[in-house]
Structure 1
Amino acid sequence: MIKPAYWMARSQVINPDEYLEYVKRAGPASREYGAEILSRGGRFELLEGTLQFQRFVLVKYPSFDAAMDFYHSQAYREAAAFRLGGAGINELVIVEGEDSG
């Protein structure tokens, strides 16, 4: 059985306008790869660690390969260019989940 994968990002937004452009492009493009956005920029409370990041994103993909395919896609590279141009600092990890069955 194919296991789902989770895209987990922590961000510090520096330029909100440029970062918003990234969000507007990346979200819709991710759905073409089966993404289900579970959390994006919602309420949070830091329980341990330091507060470097203020925006947290969790996206579920049908498989690890689907998440990696999106990350390496032309659509994501074009969207990420807005963020990578100085709109924010980001940490991103894709982790394989467990079977739900």
Structure 2
Amino acid sequence: MPKFLIQATYTPEGTKGLLREGASGRREAVERVVAGLGGTVEAMYFAFGEDDLVCILDLPDSVSMAAASLTVKASGALRTRATPLLTLDEVDEATRRQVPFRAPGT
């Protein structure tokens, strides 16, 4: 199952909601969304700095990730970035593929 790194920053309204329901309430909400799409939450951490929340999610496919991302962003409570994560085996397979490419100016 594909893995995705989620980095999120709460908006002021989202932060107010976090203060009301706490971290465990947000964990439940994330798990409900991900489980509803057929996935699991591998890890979820709160942070401070540029990102307020970091998660690693296992989801069936990119379309499921896009559905979750669109729904969360539409709420206006978070700004998010989703990065597909590759296994070592996937990168090894990619290094064995021939890709025709010509750099600009060459």
TM (normalized to structure 1)?
0.54
Aligned residues: 80
User: What's the counterpart of residue 102 of structure 2?
Assistant: none
User: What's the counterpart of residue 6 of structure 1?
Assistant: 3
- Selected match of 1:71 from 57, 65, 73: 65
Q: Give the drift of 1:52.
A: 0.8
SS of match in other structure, 1:81: helix
Identity %: 6
In structure 2, runs of 5+ residues without a counterpart are 90-106
User: What's the counterpart of residue 57 of structure 2?
Assistant: 59
SS of match in other structure, 2:50: coil
For residues 20-78 of structure 1, the C-alpha deviation after alignment (integer angstroms, 9 at most, x for no partner) is 79876553232133312111235x6x9xxxx31121111123xxxx23121244xx344
SS of match in other structure, 1:41: strand
User: What's the counterpart of residue 38 of structure 2?
Assistant: 34
Q: More helix by proportion, 1 or 2?
A: 2
More relative contact order, 1 or 2 (CA 8 Å, 6+ apart): 1
In structure 1, runs of 5+ residues without a counterpart are none
Cα distance in 1 for partners of 2:87, 2:37 equals: 17
The structure number with the bigger radius of gyration is: 2
- Matching of residues 37-52 of structure 1 within 5 Å: 37-42=41-46, 51-52=49-50
TM (normalized to structure 2)?
0.52
